[in-house]
Amino acid sequence: MSAATTINAVTTVSLMGVGGQGILLAAAIIAETASAEGLRVKTSEVHGMAQRGGSVRSTVRFGERVFSPVARSADVVIATELLEGHRGLDMLSPGGALVCAVTTCIVPGSVARGEEPYPADLPAAAAARGVRLIAVDAEALAREAGTARAVNVALLGAASTVLAFAEEMWQRGLAAAVPARILEVNQRAFALGREAVGSDDVAQRGGD
Amino acid sequence: MNPLNERNKSGYGVDMAQSLFLMGNEAIGYGAVRAGAGMACAYPGTPSTEILETTARLEGIHAEWCVNEKVALETAVGASRAGVRTLVTMKHVGLNVAADPLLTLTETGVTGGLVIVSADDPGMNSSQNEQDSRNYAKFAKIPMLEPADSQEAYDFVAEAFALSEEFDTPVLLRSSTRLSHGRGQVVLRAPVEFERREYVKDLSKHLMVPQWARLRNRLVLERLEKLRARAEESPLNVLEEGSIDFGIITSGVVYEYAREAFPEAWFLKLGMSHPLPYKKVAELYEKVSRVAVVEELDAFIEEQVRMLGLPVIGKEAIPADGELDQDIVRSALEPYLSVPPPERRPPVFPPAQRLSDLPPVATLPVRPPVLCAGCKHRSVFAALRRHKVAAMGDIGCYMLGADPPLNALDSSLCMGASIGIMAGFNKALGRKASVAVIGDSTFFHSGITPLISAHYNEADGVVLVLDNRTTAMTGHQGNPGSGLWPDLTEGPAIDIQRLCEGIDVRCVTVDAADYGALEAAIKAEIDAPGLSVLVARAPCALMVREKLGEILVDDERCNLCGLCLDIGCPDIVPHEDTVSITDGCTGCGLCIEVCKRGALSYAGAEDGGAR
């Protein structure tokens, strides 16, 4: 069982991605789900640069009582891009979980210009840290659901296997946070992500 | 002997017959010229007005009325960047207007010295409020000099410019009604010798985006403690020996009232009142058992003395409002001389402040924000890079034009500052050495007033308004250019071209998507004399989200020269010996325009070129 599943204490989920990938929406879905579960929730995020291709982070904290909206460490990191997944490892302790869209690579300018390399071998980096890696081909799942833009929610589906909310609460969270016109496609993406964990489509590795 | 200390003996030890009889404001103007200031900017305001009028009469300094105090300070920043020592003057409430540039200027510091005179009006002889400008010195973490009479006003200006350059900081000089509009003898001194500085492009100093501003802010905090150490040593802060067991800490013209009221007291006269020299304060307490702080308006010094744990007579005796004079001071403090002195413990100096831990050195590639794929305004930066002009940037998306590989901006200070900085920079250098780059919403926010000021003062320059019809960085809010209200219904929309024509500023509007026309227009405006506005129009790519076509790469023709990579589009990446176009491409075609080998083309285009 993941460290993230004890809801008596405060659980911290950190979402990491690239501007435009829907990090803020994914955070809102988790927050609404935790709220539906009857928990106290706080989130924090930085706006402004969020649509300009920069790194975006959002933090969701829930439990019976939550004080601070921020945290330097997380129980679960959800990364919608591979490099951001590498970055997210810094927030995790042994036993933590990294849910990462490992087939999504958005190359930053410095890498495109050949000034520095794109990091390699996330499974080894996660294992070295004792972090459970849930590696997801979220792009394929999102396309299967009907839109490549649903990488964020497909990944949430995978993350739902380590966050101890009932499926019904996730559905309520989705309905509360996702605009009605794109709810259905996101529900499909979520279901595909949730099913994928443990199936042949997803490789589970790491220190679990 | 330091001439600044001479006053503590008999007069100045000089022949007063050789002196000029000057108003404090005139003395500041003379002092600026003596200090080598080449430019003075101001908006008039009682009691500060005559300072600029004086500089306008004197040789060697260019004086400008600017449209307001914010624009005056920004214009001065431009002149300072160009290496020229620059004086800015205003009344106390004007400093509120200039607070926006000031609070970031403290981070960037100066090139040529920059001194801001704020003239307070205790008693509201000619003002709508009383405010104590010393609070801005604390707020901005910069030095505050407070001359007491016309001679000091003259002398302190040179000290202020020297401090400004030595500590890389703007310096505040506080006057007040009785100094500004009082007269006294001033002995003129030889011009100050100093080395004129040159502008050097340095984004880490001049482009206050978060990554640089965080680092500069640490320097500001470190600088404050270095300035405090200087204040401990400075000849501007003088401990004057007395003959009774009574000490007075004071600054500015109030010193004169207190000195006259208590000629036998000890004095700590603070010519540099911020940052407060704690040890000098403690030194006074070693000499006497009763100490009073005499200051007009706020308990600025008093609060800090109390923080040291030292007993002090302050605002319980000295009125917290209005003007003081020697009678008020005498009657307020005399009763304290006949009561037993208070008990006291040694002063407790505040410990050094801790700064936040520096973030760990990134081991992974960082991912800064970039101009979006398909942003037509990228063309402006691509074209601007070909010209040898500094580009004074502003706030918003277009700050991103400063980042590699575009490297197309020099500066960003605060909303609307680009135009004033450009005007001052070009005026100081006497040529069109810079242009301004500003978004449409920022232009409406604070770009119109500096444009008017630049036109009125016949400044050279080109103001490039990158008009994407929205306030994009914050999430596409309406503005007077789009006419959109918060509920997305339409109100009146204002046309920038017509607005400029209304103030007789030449303005051309070009389609930012037409790279050839844009490039030609930018060249024409940079080459033309005078001031003009160039509006580059194209909607925000995030609002349109259109795919204009698919771009193909001809691997045979591409030699990976890098011209297309240099435009900084996130969707062109090197791939083996050529480039490849990634998913986010909107087909804007700028890469096709800049490619010299015809290696890029729209799918289906006959000639392999742009449309």
Are B414 and B392 in contact by the 8 Å Cβ rule? The answer is: no
**Residue A10: which region, alpha, beta or left (left: phi > 0; alpha: psi -120 to 50)?**
beta
Q: Which two tokens stand for residue B112?
A: 């040529």
CA torsion angle B546 B549 B551 B552 (round to 10): 150
Main-chain phi, psi angles of B336, to 5 degrees: -75, -15
Low-confidence ranges of chain B (pLDDT < 50): 1-12, 608-611
| Residue located via tokens 């920043």 | B77
Owner of token pair 């403290």: B106
Residue A97: pLDDT over 70: yes
ipTM for this model: 0.86
Structure confidence at residue B584 (pLDDT): 85
Contact A52 B400 (CB under 8 A): yes
Which position has the token pair 């449209």?
A: B67
pLDDT value, residue A107? 87
pLDDT at site A48: 63
Q: Phi and psi at residue A75, in whole multiples of 5°?
A: -85, -40
A83 interface with B at CB cutoff 8 Å: yes
Query: Hey, what domains does chain A have and what are their CATH numbers?
Result: 3-206 (3.40.920.10)
Contact at CB, A83 and B371, closer than 8 angstroms: no
pLDDT at A8: 54
Q: With an 8 Å Cβ cutoff, is B565 touching chain A?
A: yes
B586 secondary structure, DSSP code: -
As beta bridge partners, residue A136 has: A101
- C-alpha B566/C-alpha B595 separation (Å) is 11
Place of tokens 């500023």: B505
- What pLDDT does A204 receive? 43
Give the Cα separation of B366 and B368 in Å (integer).
6
Q: Quick check: B370 and A107 CB within 8 A?
A: no
Count Cβ atoms below 10 Å from residue A9 Cβ, excluding itself: 11
Which CATH code, of 3.30.300.30, 3.30.420.40, 3.40.50.300, 3.40.50.920, is assigned to B237-337?
3.40.50.920
Any A CB within 8 A of B405 CB: yes
CA-to-CA distance for B425 and B393, rounded, in angstroms?
Answer: 13
Most B CBs within 10 A among A77, A106, A113, hence the mutation to make, goes to A113
Does residue B593 sit in helix, strand or coil?
helix
Do B370 and A83 lie within an 8 Å CB cutoff?
no
Which among B364, B370, B397 is the nearest to A109, CB-wise? B370
Could you report how far apart the first and last alpha carbons of chain B are, in Å? 76
pLDDT of residue B605: 73
In this prediction, residue B173 carries a pLDDT of: 98
Q: With an 8 Å Cβ cutoff, are B475 and A47 in contact?
A: yes
C-alpha span between B460 and B449 (Å, rounded): 16
CA–CA dist B90, B97 (Å, integer): 10
Q: Which CATH number fits domain B378-544: 1.10.10.410, 3.40.50.970, 3.30.450.20, 3.40.140.10?
A: 3.40.50.970
Q: In this complex, do B369 and A54 lie within 8 Å of one another by their Cβ atoms?
A: yes
| Angstrom distance (rounded) from CA B264 to CA B258 | 10
Q: What predicted TM-score, i.e. pTM, was given to this entire model? A: 0.93
- By DSSP bridging, strand A11-18 and strand A55-63 are antiparallel
Q: Which two tokens stand for residue B1?
A: 């002997």
Interface check B579 vs A, CB under 8 A: no
- Name which of B369, B565, B582 is nearest A19 (Cβ-Cβ): B369
Query: Given the DSSP bridges, would you call strands B434-439 and B20-23 parallel, antiparallel or unpaired?
Result: unpaired
What angle separates helix B50-57 from helix B24-34, to the nearest 10 degrees?
50
**Any chain B CB within 8 A of the CB of A125?**
no
Nearest chain A residue to B562 by CA distance is A113
Q: Which residue has the tokens 């801001």?
A: B116
Rounded to an integer, what distance in angstroms lies between the CA atom of residue B427 and that of residue B541? 36
- On the 0-12 / 13-18 / 19+ scale of CB atoms within 10 A, A116 is middle
**At CA B357, angle to CA B355 and CA B363, rounded to 5?**
150
The fold for domain B3-226 equals Rossmann fold (3.40.50)
Cα–Cα distance between A50 and A17 in angstroms, integer?
A: 10
Say if the Cβ atoms of B364 and A55 lie within 8 Å. no
CA dist., res. B483 & res. B240, Å (int): 64
Please give the single-letter amino acid code of residue B608.
G
A114 touches B at CB < 8 Å: yes
Rounded CA-CA distance A155/A137 in Å is 9
DSSP letter assigned to residue B298 = S
Q: What is the pLDDT of residue B13?
A: 52
- Residue where the block lists tokens 């949730």: A194
Place of tokens 């600029």: B52
Q: Spell out the residues 6+ positions from residue B192 whose beta carbon is closer than 8 angstroms to its own.
A: B34, B35, B36, B158, B161, B162
B354-379 burial: b if 16+ Cβ within 10 Å, else e: eeeeeeeeeebbebbbbbbbbbbbbb
Strand partners, A60: A13, A43
Query: In the Cβ-directed half-sphere of B199, how many Cα atoms lie within 13 Å?
Result: 25
pLDDT in tens, B369-426: 889 999 999 999 999 999 999 999 999 999 999 998 899 999 999 999 999 999 999 9
φ/ψ bin of B587: left (φ > 0), alpha (ψ from -120 to 50), beta (otherwise): left
**What is the Cα A43 distance to its own chain's centre?**
14
Q: Does A51 lie at the interface with B, CB-CB under 8 angstroms?
A: yes
pLDDT in tens, A171-203: 999 999 999 999 999 999 999 999 999 754 344
Euclidean distance between CA atoms B64 and B76, whole angstroms: 10
3 state DSSP class of B448: helix
Q: Which residues of chain B are within 8 Å of residue A49 when distances are taken between CB atoms?
A: 369, 473
Could you write out the three-class secondary structure of B77-129? Answer: HHHHHCCCCEEEEEEHHHHHHCHHHHHHHHHHCCCCCEEEEEEECCCCCCCCC
Closest chain B CA to residue A104:
B583
Q: Are A98 and A83 in contact (CB under 8 A)?
A: no
Q: Is B150 exposed, middle or buried (0-12, 13-18, 19+ CB in 10 A)?
A: buried
Q: In the structure encoding, which two tokens stand for residue A143, read together?
A: 């396309």
- Do B237-337 and B551-602 agree at the fold level? no
CB B391 within 8 A of CB B408: yes
Q: Position B368: which residue type?
A: P
What is the overall mean pLDDT for chain A?
Answer: 90
Percent of chain B residues topping a pLDDT of 90: 89
Buried b (16+ CB within 10 A) or exposed e, B249-282: bbbbbbbbbbbebbeebbbbbbbbbbbbbbebbe
How do strand A203-206 and strand A132-136 relate by DSSP bridges?
Answer: antiparallel
3-class SS at B450?
helix
Taking the CB of residue B561, how many other CB atoms lie within 10 A of it? 13
- Is B580 strand, coil or helix? strand
Nearest CA in chain B to A52: B369
- Identify all chain B residues contacting A117, using CB atoms and an 8 Å cutoff: 365
- The pLDDT of residue A49 is 62
Over residues A90-119, mean pLDDT:
92
Q: Which residues of chain B lie closer than 8 angstroms to A86, CB-CB? A: 364
Query: Could you tell me the two tokens for B331?
Result: 């009657």
Task: Supply φ then ψ for residue A124, to 5 degrees.
Answer: -65, -40
- The whole-angstrom distance between B164's CA and the closest CA on chain A is 34
CA count, 13 A, side-chain hemisphere, B88: 33
**Do the beta carbons of residue B94 and residue B43 sit within 8 Å?**
yes
CB contact under 8 A, A55 and B404: no
Q: What is the model's pLDDT at position A4?
A: 47
Identify the closest residue of chain A to B371 by CA–CA distance.
A52
Q: What integer pLDDT is reported at residue A99 of this predicted model?
A: 98
What DSSP line would sit under B490-526, residue for residue? Answer: B-----HHHHHHHTT-EEEEEETT-HHHHHHHHHHHH
The Cα-based distances of B186 to B27, B149, B182, B358 in angstroms read: 7, 9, 12, 50
pLDDT for the residue numbered A46: 79
d(CA B71, CA B451): 9
pLDDT, position B14: 57
SS3 B250: strand
Q: Which top CATH class is B551-602?
A: alpha beta
Q: DSSP secondary structure string, chain A?
A: --GGG--SS-EEEEEEEETTS-HHHHHHHHHHHHHHTT-EEEEEE--SSTTTTSEEEEEEEEESS---S--SSEEEEEESSHHHHHHHGGGEEEEEEEEEETT-----HHHHTTSSPPP--HHHHHHHHTPEEEEE-HHHHHHHHT-GGGHHHHHHHHHTTTS---HHHHHHHHHHHS-GGGHHHHHHHHHHHHHHTTSTTSEEEE--
Please state, as a whole number, how many other Cβ atoms lie within 10 Å of the Cβ of residue B67.
21
What is the pLDDT at residue B10?
41
Answer whether A112 sits within 8 Å of B366, measured CB to CB. no
Which residue ranges make up each domain of chain B? 3-226, 237-337, 378-544, 551-602
Amino acid A51: pLDDT? 63
